[in-house]
Amino acid sequence: MKKISLGLLCELLQHALARMMDLNGVEPFINPVDRKEFPDYDKYVVHPMDLNLIKQNITKGLYGSTEAFLADVQWILHNSMSLNIGSGQVDVRFFGAHDRAWVPAKDCFLYSEKDPNNFRTKRQDLLDSIQEAEDHIRNISKKFGKFVHPPFKTQFEPSKLNEQIKLMVRKFNNRHINRQADPGNTVLSYKLSTPRPLIV
């Protein structure tokens, strides 16, 4: 890409932001989430972000690249998807069918060696999704080092996301979340009673 000055970049980002501010349904993302209304918010969201904060960052010239800008925008998306505020639900994506659903956090477990589901016969779609999960684990190992299976039925706790990822991937640190296009893509867990492993 052609290099442009910081001043011009800021101007372009202001335009991009103005268009985002104009979108339907943007209201909840303009200002910080009201902690009086959602007292548990900080328990689940490690990196709060809103459009006005991004605007201030642009004005201060904090974004030296479009990637830096996008990373903050991604946090808004991630925060809004990762928790259905107040209900203790997490937005999960499944291996295999690649659908997604709101699942109570208490039904999610870290990806142990033993499958917590108790099915007599293994269905093909389950076997396929387990295969895909294993591939994903191999990919994670290549990138971050050894993957350690956590103890059987370790409850997933959204407020301890970083610690729990580290339990499985020792070399993981927050910087990795920041740089990933899809920040939530790293935790592996099983959902009880659903014949598919899932990613949180």
Ligand X SMILES: *[C@@H]1O[C@H](CO)[C@@H](O)[C@H](O)[C@H]1NC(C)=O
Cα→Cα distances 63→3, 16, 100, Å = 14, 13, 32
- Cα 134 to Cα 44: distance, rounded to the nearest angstrom: 27
8, two tokens: 């011009």
Cβ-based nearer residue to ligand X, 53 or 81: 53
- Cα 155 to Cα 110: distance, rounded to the nearest angstrom: 6
Calculate the CA dihedral of residues 17, 21, 22, 28 and round it to 10 degrees: 150
β-pairing, 100-104 vs 89-94, is: antiparallel
Work out the number of other CB atoms within 10 angstroms of the CB of residue 67.
Answer: 10
Q: Nearest approach, Cβ of 9 to ligand X (angstroms)?
A: 12
Cβ-based nearer residue to ligand X, 52 or 112: 52
Cβ-based nearer residue to ligand X, 39 or 64: 64
Cβ-based nearer residue to ligand X, 79 or 89: 79
Q: Nearest approach, Cβ of 54 to ligand X (angstroms)?
A: 7
Q: Nearest approach, Cβ of 112 to ligand X (angstroms)?
A: 18
Q: Nearest approach, Cβ of 169 to ligand X (angstroms)?
A: 14
- Cα 29 to Cα 114: distance, rounded to the nearest angstrom: 40
Summarize as ranges the residues that interact with ligand X (CB under 6 A). 53, 57, 62-63, 68, 72, 132, 135-136, 139
Q: Nearest approach, Cβ of 49 to ligand X (angstroms)?
A: 7
Cβ-based nearer residue to ligand X, 134 or 151: 134
In 3D, which of 137, 118, 117 has the Cα closest to residue 185?
137
